[in-house]
Every structure is written in structure tokens, then in C-alpha cells.
Chain A
Amino acid sequence: MTAELRFDFIVDKEKNSIIVKREFAAGRQLVWDCHTKRELLDRWFAPKPLTTKTKHMEFKQGGYWHYAMITPDGQAFWNRLDYQAINPIDNYAALDGFCDEAGIVNPDMPRARWDVAFTDAKERTLVTTVVLYNSADDVQKAIDMGLKDGLASTLERLDELLLTMGETAEHV
């Protein structure tokens, strides 16, 4: 097992944004592919114990990824990511959104812009994601509705799961 992979999760209230930084023990091209190809995204994007199912993917400016995160009992949470700018294999910008199975975006939920950057970090790749909301009001809405969401309880159980997995990982 190599040295620990960097993981930063920063909330910047003043800028209405969340910044996520994470290192991966792989080259930039492979990490980029995992973020941009449907068959690869389907293998990791949803947090455990959910799974990812892509309904539509067109990775180009003006295109979008329409996918569901599915709970073990079959409940689907539909999302879409509309691609606004793409610079392979450096960065891409997109607009997220909650939607239904048909891909219609829920207008009551705020949409955040994602700026995702890929940089070399020695043998590793650093991925920096900035999730930017339009206003403090939008952040508040995301909090209020996010906590009511059916996904909330699943995510809350995650913390415990991650701790257990962390312990397992140390024995590897």
C-alpha cells in the first residue's frame, strides 16, 4: 500500500462553493477516462452501497450525462450533468441538476457549476472539483432539500461504512 492519498473537502461559505481535492494512484489519461466515459463512470460514480446507471452520455460541449444512482432496494435518484466546456485531459466545466427519468431538470432545486481540473502530481493525478452555487440562497436551498431527500439517510449511513472500510484497508 502506497502512502495515503490526499483528500481535502473544503466548504467556502463566502464563495458559495465546495472544493474537493483528491489524489489518485494512476496517470492523468486514465483518471480522465474514468470521469468521461459512461462504461467507466458506471463502475464508480455512485457512493456505496448505491450503483450507477447511465441512460445517456454525450461528452462534448452542449452534451450531457444523464444517470441514476440506485439504492440496493431499487430506488433511483436521477441526475444530469450538462457539459459547458471541455479541455481534454486538463479540465471540464458542467452544470449539475436533479432530474427525472426523462431527464427533465427539477426547477425547484438549485443547479451548481462544477469546475473539474486534472493535474499531474508526481506519479499520481490530482483532481480538483469546485462545486459553485449561484448564491447563498441556493446553498440554503440545497441544504434544506438535500436533507429531505431520500438519499440523505443513505449518505448518513455512509460515514459508518467508510470507517469500517478504512479499518479493513489498513490490514491490506
Chain B
Amino acid sequence: MGELAEPFAMALPSFMKHVGILERTGLIRSRKRGRIRTCTLEQKNLAAAERWFAQQRSMWASRYQNLDSLLESLNGEKRDS
């Protein structure tokens, strides 16, 4: 864990907090052997999360493009009347 924390400009306890969040969300797994805790990346979960977030982003982007068109046509109606 100390090795992992080294490149980051934060105290070890803060670093552990961040690692805890990643672990709870299933993005990494950690195992303690004696005094040494080792982290592994959960590639599959990470990829799944990225895919889902990308889908959500597409959904919002698309619905808002629809709204752009609707607003444009509503503004047009107002101008015409």
C-alpha cells in the first residue's frame, strides 16, 4: 500500500480512504498478508462501469439533442403567431 501511495501527494490515511472507496465500488480488490496489503484491479468491473456510464452519457446527449429541436420549433411557433 505504501508503494502504491508513494507517487501521490497525500498522507497514507487519506490514501487509504480513497482506496476504500474504490474497493467498495468493486473497482479494486485488496488482500492483507501479514503487514502487507496488496491491491488488484478488477478489470471486468471497471470495464462494465465505463460501459454503463458511456451509455448513460449517450442517453442524456441524445435526449437533449431532441430537446434542442423541440425548443427551436416551439420558439418558431411563437415567432409565427
Contacts and interface: CB of A to CB of B under 8 A. Distances in A.
Interface of A: 5, 7, 9, 11, 13-14, 18, 20, 22, 24-26, 30-31, 34, 40, 43-48, 129, 136-137, 139-140, 142-144, 146-147, 152, 155-156, 158-159, 161-162, 165
Nearest to A51: B66
B54 A159 contact: yes
Given A31-B71, A40-B70, A44-B70, A136 B63 contact: no
B60 A14 contact: no
Interface residues of B, number: 32
A110 to B, nearest CB: 13
A47 B62 CA distance: 5
A156 B74 contact: no
A20 B60 contact: yes
Nearest to B17: A14
B57 A9 contact: yes
Interface string B49-63: 101111111111111
Given A13-B21, A140-B26, A142-B52, A44 B67 contact: yes
Contact of A44 (B22, B66, B75): B66
Given A44-B70, A147-B52, A155 B59 contact: yes
Given A7-B61, A30-B75, A46-B63, 9 more contacts: A30-B71, A30-B74, A31-B71, A34-B67, A34-B74, A48-B65, A143-B48, A147-B55, A162-B65
Given A18-B56, A159-B54, A162-B65, A139 B25 contact: yes
